[in-house]
Amino acid sequence: MPNRARDWLNQAIRDLEQAEDSRRAGRHEWACFAAQQATEKAVKALHLQLGQEAWGHVVAMLLKELPETVSVPDELIEKGRVLDNFYIPSRYPDSHPEGAPFEHYGPLQSEEAIRYAGEIIAFVRSQMA
């Protein structure tokens, strides 16, 4: 079976571009979600590159589950935790006490999400090079 790690990484990069497009359009909730998805796919790409199968959607856990041969900085795991908070609440109205998701996310959150996703994707790319 062919290794699809590059396909996962390429989609991660495209998802990050979608996050940036959504941010520019003022759809900050979607920017946050797309940034989380980009990061999740990038880390899964690294797992595949290393011959591992990865399941789940929790970026911090996916980073922790990388082999010991990959030294993941604690700071990146913390940034993964921030991104993990955008997986469900950015999409579902019942994730907040009241208000639709778009009312809970703004430029501050989307800028941070995109920056953190970019840092984790850069780390993955360096490991896959």
Q: How far is CA 79 from the centre of its chain?
A: 9
**pLDDT, the chain, mean:** 97
- Domain ranges in the chain are 5-128
Q: What is the pLDDT of residues 75-102, one digit of tens each?
A: 999 999 999 999 999 999 999 999 999 9
CATH superfamily name and code, 5-128? Nucleotidyltransferases  domain 2 (1.20.120.330)
Burial pattern 18-34, b for ≥16 Cβ within 10 A else e, equals bbbebbeeebbbbbbbb
Tens-digit pLDDT profile for residues 19-55: 999 999 999 999 999 999 999 999 999 999 999 989 9
pTM: 0.96
